[in-house]
Structure 1
Amino acid sequence: MTEVSHGAQPLELGNANATAVTGTGTSEQWLARYSNSLMGVFGNPQRVLVRGAGALVWDADGKEYLDLLGGIAVNALGHAHPFVTSVIASQLSTLGHVSNFFTSPTQIALAEKLLELSQAPAGSKVFFANSGTEANEAAFKLARVHGGKERPTILALEGAFHGRTMGALAMTAKQAYREPFEPMPAGVRHLPFNDIEALREALDDSVAALVIEPIQGEAGVRPLSAEYLKAARELTREHGALLILDEVQTGIGRTGDWFAGIAAGIIPDAMTLAKGLGGGFPIGAIITFGEGPSTKLSAGQHGTTFGGNPVATAAALATLHVLESANVLANVRTVSDIFAQGLGKLDGVTEVRAFGLLIGVELAEPVAAGVLAAALEAGFIINAPRPTTIRLAPPLNLTAEQAQSFIAAFPELLATALAAHSSEGNS
């Protein structure tokens, strides 16, 4: 037997072939092995992480980081939350996977809980998948079945990101993601962001569905206005089209409410979820609202092998339990205000778009990549989705003190990035 170290307790692995699996190594050694064994679709990893606790993670060299990205809004309760991990271990010790020829108590209970939290009307249903892109694939199929051949058009927005599988990619607006795989599935049109008149002109009786994110995360944390969301609901209903909210990133308390669209008073025809739902364990879902949308997909028209398995649904139930019982959503709102006020008054910051703990920090100069690099060296994990934008999506139980530590460090991080940018411009 060989072992790979994951914190204090080593994980024993059977060595079935001649390749040694070592338990120690520097980040440099691990990254060399990475480049020799994994596809380069993510580029070069920034660090080799080996352990986490709450909002903290440690790399293979023992360096500590404050995780302000949360696996891109996934780790709702941080890393290795004791209750969530205990529930996962307990479920695995009894029943791990059964296929969808069968169901389990955790699958049913989670569906019921999501219907309750989303205030879904009678007749509403849930389908479980494994990720956000899979949830949006289900939404794509739902729109196709609803529209039939007579209503072939699906509307999405410029700046949208709905995933990388083909149906979800067709609804995603970024050309760099789409171009290598064209032709895309037909019938998707992208409208100008937050433009009600463009929406009004596009929505006619040929449209099957409008798919929108209440806040676009990958585009730099850009919110749709309350007026746009209201118009989207009214116009889709008027023309018999589905309104589908992609809450993969904004759902499950990320914005300080369970769901951003529903908090704005919008009851969609369907809503997709993933990311924070499993607290770090892979799970996705689509909720259909009311009997009409909920009867569109019939037996055999869609499916998944792993979706809704007992472990994933147990992990989600445990995550929702902690979010509720520990009043974590109140903490989201409190820490959001700390970030907004603290970062918003700093020189070089032109705007802070804070929606709970989904935060976009707009910079006066296009140095976001430099700030990211300086932050990593200083022990902070953040994201730079655009040249002038920093994105934060930390665990929802991040403390005020942890938020303040980043705010205090930010001026020096920005100064380092600006100096490097100036040097590059003069070279």
Structure 2
Amino acid sequence: MNEYMKETNEALLHTYNQFSIVLEHGEGVYLYDTEGKKYLDFAAGYAVSSLGYANEELNTALKAQIDKLCHTSNLYYNTVCGKAAEALKRITKMDRIFFTNSGGESVEGALKAARKYAYKKGTGRYEFIAMKESFHGRSFGAVSVTGHDAYRKPFGPLVPGVSFAEYNNLDSVKALVTDKTCAIILEPLQGEGGINLATEEFMKGIRELCDKEGILMICDEVQCGMGRTGEMFCWQGYGIKPDIMTMAKAIGSGIPVGAFAMTEEVAEYSLEPGDHGTTYGGNPLACTAVSKTVEIFEKENLTAHVKEMGAYLTEKLEALKEKCDCIKAVKGTGLMQGIQITKPLGEVTNAALKEGLLVIGAGADVLRFVPPLIIEKEHVDEMIAVLEKIL
């Protein structure tokens, strides 16, 4: 056993099924292990490392901030947090931002904001409608609205007042609405659930239902946001706007940071000083990562690049499907796509690893592709060649 793996296995709680490699450094869209082997990365740390690895502009900004200040209490203003919040306001078109440390923590804040909104409005509402096959995180609130029994069952009883509708089935959502429903939460593109993309009819129908019934709409963009679908955030492609949204992962390009955002209406009637907080949220280092990431995205027009590469990836996956009987469907959009296969996912991901390709599963039978957003056609071709060999 590699010495690094031995140290990890002896010291850490075993909560991950890890591959038997030890990664040491990265460059562009490639990662390298301690033995010097090169891997094409089509996982990006679960859709986190959108700018790839060793981005000089980002690293320079982070190094400069480390020499200045990494953390202060939120009791004091700092020179970076407001700038990062303005950057997120600009790209989300939302009004108020709260910084967290992760996606799960962002979902927790969004749920609390929805319940506080109902409380201040005096509606008596507290129930949530979530989607089957959804994934929102592993903390108690987040797992309570996650539509997978495997994630929920060992930790019950969970937060009460949650029901689950069929994704892309508006009638099933309407059937669950009561006078106690305070919010509907959904991913516009489900990740863990198997790369399931919401239809325009479903998204617009949810928005209309919420407006009609006085319910808040929460969009979870932790994985599908920050340019991954070709829109800066996935919901922006549907011509609607949620009341609350969550984000994390790629907004910090690998630095741990998340956020949830809301409209001015929700902000006015929800969280107040003392209601919610986080020790490290909005720290100068994380906010530097957010500001610089947004700056690079806008300067390099990465969303346009994602649309181009996403279309090329779809074309190549569809062609591969014609060659491989084990591929049943191509799913997703932009650079968040997958193939539904009949072969065991574990066997395929391990075979890919041996060939120098990093890919991950989604759901029970979908191979997921969420590479750095800076990939080019040559990287898609390289990935397809490996898949054709192993499938």
Distance 1:343 1:301 in 2: 47
Alpha-carbon distance in 1 for matches of 2:208, 2:177: 11
| Aligned match of 1:72 | 46
Alignment of 1:238 with 2:216, yes or no, is no
Indicate conservation of the 8 Å contact 1:132/1:274, yes or no. Answer: yes
One-letter amino acid matched to 1:403: V
SS at match of 1:156: strand
Letter of the 2:5 partner, please give it.
L
Pairing partner for 2:273 from 275, 279, 299: 299
Deviation larger for 348-357 or 49-58:
348-357
Counterpart-to-counterpart distance in 2, 1:161 and 1:55:
26
Using the alignment, how far apart are the partners of 1:127 and 1:72 within structure 2? Answer: 23
Please say if 1:30 is aligned against 2:4: yes
Deviation at 1:294, TM superposition (A): 4.5
Q: Measure how far apart 1:295 and its partner are.
A: 3.6
Q: Name 2:114's counterpart in structure 1.
A: 143
Superposition pairs of residues 57-68 of structure 1, within 5 angstroms: 57-68=31-42
Checking the alignment, whether the CA contact within 8 Å between 1:288 and 1:294 is kept in structure 2 is no
Q: Quote the offset at 1:292 in angstroms.
A: 3.3
Q: How does 1:396-407 map to 2 (within 5 A)?
A: 396-407=373-384
The alpha carbon displacement at 1:205 in A equals 2.0
Report deviation, 1:204: 2.9
Residue 8 (structure 1) aligns with: none
Q: 1:272 to 1:294 in 2, by over 3 A?
A: farther
| Mapped partners of 2:291, 2:152: distance in 1 | 35
> Which position in structure 2 is the counterpart of 1:360?
338
1:307 aligned counterpart, secondary structure: coil
Deviation at 1:277, TM superposition (A): 0.3
SS of the residue corresponding to residue 5 of structure 2 reads helix
Contact 2:102 2:248 in 1 (8 A): yes
What amino acid sits opposite 1:393 in the alignment? V
1:174 and 2:174 are equivalent in the alignment: no
CA distance in 2, matches of 1:103, 1:194: 43
CA distance in 1, matches of 2:198, 2:18: 33
Residues of 1 paired with 2:172 and 2:17: CA distance?
37
Cα 1:378–1:294 shift into 2, 3 Å: farther
Structure 2 unaligned blocks of 5 or more: none
Partner amino acid for 2:355? A
**Pairing of 1:69-218 with structure 2 (within 5 A):** 69-120=43-94, 124-148=95-119, 150-218=124-192
Letter in 2 for 1:133: G
Shift of 1:384: 1.4
SS of the equivalent of 1:62 reads coil
Could you tell me which of 396, 403, 412 is aligned with 2:389? 412
1:40 corresponds in structure 2 to 14
Q: TM-score, normalised by structure 2?
A: 0.95
Q: Which amino acid aligns with 2:316?
A: G
Give the letter for the 1:49 counterpart: L
Amino acid at match of 1:345: A
Q: CA deviation at 1:408?
A: 1.8
Q: Deviation per CA, 1:156-204: give whole Å up to 9, x if none.
A: 0000100001101101111111122111011111111111111112223
Matched, 1:383 2:360: yes
Corresponding letter in the other structure for 1:357: L
> Which residue pairs with 2:347 in the alignment?
370
Residue-by-residue CA offset, 1:17-71 (whole Å, 9 max, x unaligned): xxxxxxxxxx622212211111001134442111111111111111110110000
Q: Which moved more, 1:336-345 or 1:64-73?
A: 336-345
- Please tell me whether the aligned partners of residues 195 and 362 of structure 2 are also in contact (alpha carbons under 8 angstroms): no
Superposed displacement of residue 387, structure 1: 3.8
- CA distance in structure 2 between the aligned counterparts of 1:137 and 1:102, rounded to whole angstroms: 24
CA distance in 1, matches of 2:194, 2:240: 23
Alpha-carbon offset, residue 91 of structure 1: 0.7
CA contact (8 A) 1:203 1:235 kept: no
Question: Residue 331 of structure 2 aligns to a residue in which SS?
Answer: strand
In structure 2, relative to structure 1, the CA distance for the partners of 1:46 and 1:205 (3 Å cut) is farther
Highest Rg: 1 or 2? 1
Which amino acid letter does the alignment assign opposite residue 339 of structure 2? V
- Amino acid in the other structure paired with 1:176: A
Deviation (angstroms), 1:314: 0.5
C-alpha displacement at 1:239, in angstroms? Answer: 1.1
1:16 maps to none
Shift of 1:261: 0.5
| Identity fraction in percent | 34
Q: Distance in 1 between matches of 2:55 and 2:347?
A: 32
Give the whole-Å Cα distance in 2 for the aligned partners of 1:287 and 1:404. Answer: 37
Cα distance in 1 between the residues matched to 2:289 and 2:23: 22
TM-score, normalisation: structure 1:
0.87
SS at 2:389's partner residue? helix
Counterpart residue identity of residue 310, structure 1: P
What SS does the corresponding residue of 1:105 show, helix, strand or coil? Answer: coil
- RMSD of equivalent CA atoms: 1.4
Residues 292-371 of structure 1 mapped to structure 2, 5 A cutoff:
292-346=266-320, 347-348=323-324, 349-363=327-341, 365-371=342-348
- Which stretches of structure 1, 4 residues or more, deviate above 3 A after TM superposition? 292-295
Q: Is the 8 A contact 1:338 1:404 kept in 2?
A: no
One-letter amino acid of the structure 1 residue matched with residue 360 of structure 2: N
Kindly indicate whether structure 1 or structure 2 has the higher relative contact order, using CA contacts under 8 Å at least 6 residues apart: 2
How far apart, in 1, do the equivalents of 2:90 and 2:18 lie?
42
Aligned residue in 2 for 1:417 = none
